[in-house]
Structure 1
Amino acid sequence: MVYARFRVRFPESLWIGRLSREYPSAVVTALSAMGIDDSVVTLVEVVDAPPAEVLELARSDPTVTTFDPVAQSDGRLLFSYRTRSTLYRAAERSGVPPLYPVEVRDGWADIESHASREGVSKLVAELEAENATVEVTAISEGPAGDALLTERQREVLTEAYERGYYDSPRRCSTAELAEELGVAPSTISDLLRRAERRALGALVSDGAS
């Protein structure tokens, strides 16, 4: 069993990919997905994209059969939608479901999985057969190890650490980090929260083993 991480470039036919390319600084996160009959229902969180534009793009896509907003706050939209997703079915055929949440930025999704090496190869082949571009960015035996964080999470976490965000007293604010990296403060907060959760989760797991 290996841990693998991929970068998957969504094809133009997938509306989530078009959304994230239209708003490249937005963080689009698929929190969960479930196949129902010939469709897939996905729960998604979008940070830093206009909710009205997200709604319009979804409802103008012929593959999206339902779109249901769940919650909305400043710069953040949570919704579920139902569609005929060939990428989801490709993962099903490979027998290697992705580990959620799946983060999408600028048309690229960071996908993680635990599977045999044969399963990983089959997943890549199935995704590529659906016109997705796949890059294997990390693979290791057993748990995530050094591949724990996405490239973007590692970049933001490193910047925060080096600029004194975690010092006491704190030498750098979220707003200053956001200005340095050219994104919204809410995006920085979201990225740091996810990176911290992954890092702490791995630490707790290692301590319990």
Structure 2
Amino acid sequence: MATGIRAELRVDADGSCPVASAAADAGAPTSSVTRGIDPEATGRVTEEFMLEDTAVEAPPGGDVEPVFTYGSKTTYRFSRPRGQGCPCERVEAFDCPVVDVHTRDGMLHLVFHAADMSELRGVITTLREAYPEVDVRRLLRSHGDPSDHDLVFVDRGRLTARQREVLERAHEMGYFDHPKGANAGEVADALDISRSTFSEHLSAAQSKLLDAVLEQ
């Protein structure tokens, strides 16, 4: 019985991924990212990706070259050494092949299958040690999993920046712990806001998260 997890992570590649860099420079998302070992150059990888809508002739930087154009879409190719520790290689170090790669808003989105939650946590921890921002966008568990716990996708984009800040600070200070590590007034003071403002933001954030969970 399959018990794996399909995960989509959003990673700020921080200039380490030519695909994400090209997309950011062109101001356009990418799709159809493919990779293969260069048969004529040991230890190198050739990658291709498609820019869906670009106003520039080619993404600047490195050896990225256009190889095919179809309407407003252009496929680009580049070659790089293997073992540079890019996001895809860090994921695949856990024997989790990356099955889909694309970019949106300058961020790299990776889709892969982990054997279990322990393996998934290992991948996420490794990426967070290397990159400034790693968000879990979607988790799907195989049907028939005997676990009593369901995985639910919660889009943190539902929260405003202030709601997320309030929620994170409350969690960090132990507001949700039993017994509480901090009360509402202490968290509000740490955020330099009034207690009523803290309660308002926290209530709105919790309502949005509960809506997302119950919708599933």
Which TM-score band applies after superposition, normalised by the shorter structure?
0.5 to 0.7
Match of 2:123 in 1: 123
CA-based RMSD: 2.7
- Note the residue ranges of structure 1 that are not aligned, 5 or more in a row: 152-209
Asked if 2 retains the 8 angstrom alpha-carbon contact of 1:93 and 1:126, the reply is no
Closer/same/farther in 2, CA of residues 79 and 23 from structure 1, 3 Å limit: closer
What is the 5 A alignment of 1:26-65? Answer: 26-36=28-38, 37-54=42-59, 57=60, 60-61=61-62, 64=63
Match of 2:107 in 1: 108
Distance in 2 (CA, whole Å) between partners of 1:130 and 1:112 is 18
- Note the residue ranges of structure 2 that are not aligned, 5 or more in a row: 144-150, 158-216
Asked if 2 retains the 8 angstrom alpha-carbon contact of 1:41 and 1:81, the reply is yes
User: How far is the alpha carbon of 1:120 from its aligned partner?
Assistant: 1.5
Query: Could you tell me which amino acid in structure 2 is paired with residue 104 of structure 1?
Result: T
TM-score normalised by the chain length of structure 1? 0.55
Higher Cα radius of gyration? 2
Higher helix share: 1
Match of 2:93 in 1: 93
Higher relative contact order (CA 8 A, sep 6+): 1
Distance in 1 (CA, whole Å) between partners of 2:6 and 2:33 is 20
Query: Could you tell me which amino acid in structure 1 is paired with residue 34 of structure 2?
Result: S
Higher strand share: 1
Asked if 2 retains the 8 angstrom alpha-carbon contact of 1:5 and 1:112, the reply is yes
Distance in 2 (CA, whole Å) between partners of 1:123 and 1:35 is 23
Identity across matched positions, percent: 15
Closer/same/farther in 2, CA of residues 28 and 106 from structure 1, 3 Å limit: same
SS, match of residue 45 in structure 1: strand
Asked if 1 retains the 8 angstrom alpha-carbon contact of 2:11 and 2:131, the reply is no
Match of 1:20 in 2: 23
TM-score normalised by the chain length of structure 2? 0.54
Distance in 1 (CA, whole Å) between partners of 2:98 and 2:47 is 13
User: How far is the alpha carbon of 1:20 from its aligned partner?
Assistant: 2.1
For these two proteins, the number of residue pairs brought into alignment is 137
User: How far is the alpha carbon of 1:82 from its aligned partner?
Assistant: 0.9
Query: Could you tell me which amino acid in structure 2 is paired with residue 23 of structure 1?
Result: A
